[in-house]
Amino acid sequence: MEWTDEGIVLGVRRHGEANVILELMTRGHGRHLGLVRGGAGSRMRPVLQPGNLLRAVWRARLDEHLGNYSVEGLHLRAGPLLTRSHAVFALTHLAALTRLLPERDPHEDVYETLGVILDHLDEPVVAASLVVRYELMMLGELGFGLDLGTCAVTGLEDNLIYVSPKSGRAVSAEAGQEWSDRLLPLPAFLAADAGMPSGFGEIDRAFALTGFFLARHVFEPRGLPLPDARAHFIAATARSQASAA
């Protein structure tokens, strides 16, 4: 068995003295692991950093085997990102989210979106708005997608400012007025699925929204809390914006 694909490094773990097991999010083969011989050495270590884009050749005798990777770097973006705290936490959180997908299950849209986010991690506010949209995307990929395009009560698309915690559907200001204390705030940039947040307050509300549904549907059923890296990323983004103000 052999294939060649592009892949984004999610992580590595040591395997013996000189080798590592490399985890990639590939374009056509999904989240896929393989052994890199000599991957623990100084020559390969910079190439195998999380966030880097590689060309990978995977070989194995049988499809179900771990197999071996031969890799070369295509876009080594990790170096500059590792000097910025918000980017380090973002990389860790994005990898944790991506690991929720079944191994070897192709998700080309996820791969493409992940690449776009990584290319914008040096801009904290832009990165935060993309990461929160990635969380929405992952909820959808895992079968718990939110419907933020039309009001659950009226079916209209205007003035959507709430989300029902039960159905995960948007609710307009008029339809939700009576139950506003029971509904979750819907940031305008998520309701329109376009544009940038107006400030960090809107970003914070967006992460509160996605965090509610991630905790309920994804992490709590697995007996897990929301990842620490997620909270650290939000806090680092807030600090970054405050220092720039």
Distances (CA, A) of 148 to 29, 164, 177, 236: 30, 10, 17, 27
Tens of pLDDT, residue by residue over 24-65, are 999 999 999 999 999 999 999 999 999 999 999 999 999 889
Q: Does the structure show a pLDDT above 90 at 196?
A: no
The predicted model scores a pTM of: 0.94
Region of 183 on the Ramachandran plot (φ > 0 left; ψ -120 to 50 alpha; else beta): beta
- In sequence order, which residues have a C-beta less than 8 Å from that of residue 109 and are 6 or more positions away? 137
Token couple for 169: 């559907």
Token couple for 225: 């809390």
- Pick one of 3.40.50.720, 3.40.50.2300, 3.30.9.30, 2.40.50.140 as the CATH number of 2-76: 2.40.50.140
Q: Where are the domains of the chain?
A: 2-76, 81-148+186-244
